[in-house]
A and B are shown apart, each in its own frame.
Chain A
Amino acid sequence: MSSLLEMMPDVVMKKILKECGFVAIQRLRKTCHTLRNFIDDFPPDPLITEVSIGKDSERITLCFSFSKFFPGDFSYLIYQKVPYGTLLKDFPNGTFLKWDHQKVIKNMHPLHVFCQDFELLLRGQKSIIEFFKIGFEYYNSDNWEQYEDACGEELWEKLENILPEKPKLKVKNLELIIPDQEGIMAILPFLDEKSIESLKFIDAIGTQGERVLNIEKIIELPHWKSARALTIAEFSVSAPIQNFFHFENCSIYLESISIDDINLIKNNSQNSPNFIRFAVNFNLKINEHSLAVRDCEKFLFEKYGVPYIEDGRENTWFFKKDKETVLNLLITPYSIVFERIRKERVPEGCSIWE
């Protein structure tokens, strides 16, 4: 005989499940096959707001939290490789000091258990995920063999299959810690381009600008064009500087920069109405980078005279922007930063150049 819950009209069941929250829904899914079928056929929106995935050669971590409707609902899972399968550890609601749950799933690789869970997690997600991060928690570039294992293509292939095609997953802020462009191309095209506001790409090896990220495929994506903020850290990029001008807030590493590029950035920063900040960083380990900065400084000295020196080390010039704001150009030994600031912040006696 069916229970009262099973006899509820579909519209009521959907309403009840919507109020349950993701964790309770997944527990209900395991009670009986009627509920499991219903939940699979009409997956409720889990209202996930943050997802963070980490991977190294030994384990995968999955952290996710939910909207304000389910305060405190957040889980941190670890899928650890053990000789006979996968050891799954759960730290519900941030109880990192106490392992509430752990179980062994025999004869299954952590990647497969993780993919199964991740697919379940995303099923039904229609609302926007505020923050979505995938990263490799491995920074030792000396051990390439282990790195290759950690960054194996299998995860990317799996993710490509898991991310829903229709409708595409809506993500506002995306952060990827990846080895190369292919890592980005395995994720970004499968997200809804209209929801993307900020992109952050970080080199999984962490060589502070020594490695170059090719972006020729990424810049062709509509996501690149619709995003308003971009950070590329640790990687250097090599692409015409104009490719970055539509971002309101942009921070990149370059191997070198020309005076022409500096002028282009300056003009774009002055003319873009929504401009906030454009930062170009250089790797201090390589001599020519700081030389590039020095060349710029020399050019600016000659053209605009002695800068205002902030904190005794940063050379600053100011340029006209609009009625209320000015463009602040700040040069340090490792960076060139254009930033929009309020006029009142310009120190007394400083010139504001055209």
Chain B
Amino acid sequence: MSVENAPVVDVDEAAIPVEKKMYYRFESNDKKEFRVSELAIQQSETLNRLVEAMGYTSEDVENKPAIAIENIDGKTLKLVFQWCEHHKGEAIPVDDGSVPKIVEIPEFDAKLMDIDNGLLFKLIWAADYLNIVQLLNVSCKKVANMAQGKTPAQLRRVYLLPSDEEDEAAKRAAQEAQDPRAREVEEEFEERKRQGGNSFF
């Protein structure tokens, strides 16, 4: 796909400082190309390090091939870059683990993440891979919010989780390969199940 035809992420030109007005080109694993501002890239520690290491000039950006991101598809990458452009210039939160911080989902992020679960999980995976701290925070919060007030049966439906019985059936099938530790694992599983089955929680 040519650069001219690439899906360009909306950019608020006025908000970008002049010295940062350089756009990098990235390509998803399904060959979709994106132009992303330097300032927006700073939200991703992984990409920021990458472009710093490459040391591209404005000419390089235009003349060299787009930087390939091989394990994220175009649909997911579009969401990622939309998020980065919207939040460019914002401070990146530091989680030192000492004091838990309240994560709030801004309206823009809530709308961006109003997507099916499959895409939401891909977005989380991408945020983790590209090390976009705040995107990971809000997307994990969204997944956590989906769990509130639900019974285990409802949670299985929401997250498409197998029941213990389905798990066991899959495990039995796998054990047909005659794993010597199979019985031991089975006993451990039964014990854990027993422990988990007689409490309130």
Please state if A15 and B199 are interface contacts (CB–CB under 8 Å): no
Q: If the complex has contacts A6-B161, A33-B189, are A27 and B199 also in contact, measured as CB distance less than 8 A? A: no
Please state if B151 and A27 are interface contacts (CB–CB under 8 Å): yes
User: In angstroms, how far is the closest chain B Cβ from the Cβ of A146?
Assistant: 26
User: In angstroms, how far is the closest chain A Cβ from the Cβ of B83?
Assistant: 16
- Give the chain B neighbours of A117 by CB distance below 8 A: 199-201
User: In angstroms, how far is the closest chain B Cβ from the Cβ of A69?
Assistant: 6
Please state if B192 and A33 are interface contacts (CB–CB under 8 Å): yes
Q: If the complex has contacts A4-B160, A15-B137, A32-B163, are A27 and B150 also in contact, measured as CB distance less than 8 A? A: yes
Count A-side interface residues using an 8 Å CB cutoff.
Answer: 45
> B63 on the interface (CB 8 Å rule)?
no
User: In angstroms, how far is the closest chain B Cβ from the Cβ of A280?
Assistant: 40
Contact residues of B between 153 and 184, Cβ < 8 Å to A:
155-156, 159-164, 166-167
> A303 on the interface (CB 8 Å rule)?
no
> B9 on the interface (CB 8 Å rule)?
no
What DSSP secondary structure best describes chain B's contact surface?
helix
Q: If the complex has contacts A12-B125, A15-B136, are A116 and B199 also in contact, measured as CB distance less than 8 A? A: yes
Bound CA span A90–B151, Å:
14
- Give the chain B neighbours of A36 by CB distance below 8 A: 192, 196
Please state if A3 and B193 are interface contacts (CB–CB under 8 Å): no
> A272 on the interface (CB 8 Å rule)?
no
- Give the chain A neighbours of B144 by CB distance below 8 A: 16-21, 24
> A120 on the interface (CB 8 Å rule)?
yes
Contact residues of A between 4 and 36, Cβ < 8 Å to B:
4-6, 8-9, 11-12, 15-21, 23-24, 26-36
Please state if B140 and A4 are interface contacts (CB–CB under 8 Å): no
User: In angstroms, how far is the closest chain A Cβ from the Cβ of B66?
Assistant: 26
- Give the chain B neighbours of A113 by CB distance below 8 A: 198-200
Bound CA span A21–B147, Å:
9
Please state if A8 and B151 are interface contacts (CB–CB under 8 Å): no
Bound CA span A108–B197, Å:
12
Q: If the complex has contacts A12-B136, A19-B103, A26-B201, are A3 and B159 also in contact, measured as CB distance less than 8 A? A: yes
Please state if B161 and A31 are interface contacts (CB–CB under 8 Å): yes
User: In angstroms, how far is the closest chain A Cβ from the Cβ of B10?
Assistant: 28
> A105 on the interface (CB 8 Å rule)?
yes
Please state if A120 and B201 are interface contacts (CB–CB under 8 Å): yes
Contact of B200 among A11, A37, A47, A88 (CB under 8 A): A88
- Give the chain A neighbours of B150 by CB distance below 8 A: 24, 27
- Give the chain A neighbours of B151 by CB distance below 8 A: 27
- Give the chain A neighbours of B148 by CB distance below 8 A: 20-21, 24
Q: At the interface with chain A, which of B13-21, B53-61, B68-76, B116-124? A: B116-124
Interface centre among B102, B117, B148, B192 (most CB of A within 10 A): B148
Please state if A5 and B159 are interface contacts (CB–CB under 8 Å): yes
User: In angstroms, how far is the closest chain A Cβ from the Cβ of B81?
Assistant: 20
- Give the chain B neighbours of A5 by CB distance below 8 A: 121, 143, 159-161
- Give the chain A neighbours of B167 by CB distance below 8 A: 32-34
Interface centre among A3, A40, A90 (most CB of B within 10 A): A3
Bound CA span A197–B160, Å:
46
> A52 on the interface (CB 8 Å rule)?
no
> What is the chain B residue whose CB lies nearest that of A22?
B201
> B106 on the interface (CB 8 Å rule)?
no
User: Can you show 12 pairs from A to B with CB atoms below 8 A apart?
Assistant: A5-B160, A12-B128, A16-B140, A27-B151, A28-B155, A33-B164, A36-B192, A45-B100, A90-B200, A116-B195, A120-B199, A127-B100
Q: Which 6 residue pairs of A and B lie closest in terms of their CB atoms, listed nearest first? A: A26-B201, A19-B144, A4-B121, A30-B152, A24-B147, A3-B160
B residues with a Cβ closer than 8 A to A are 100, 102-103, 117-118, 121, 124-125, 128, 136-137, 140-141, 143-145, 147-148, 150-152, 155-156, 159-164, 166-167, 189, 192-193, 195-196, 198-201
Instruction: Apart from A3-B160, A16-B144, list 13 A-B contacts with CB within 8 A.
Output: A3-B162, A5-B161, A8-B124, A16-B140, A19-B143, A20-B148, A24-B148, A27-B151, A27-B201, A28-B147, A29-B196, A32-B163, A116-B195
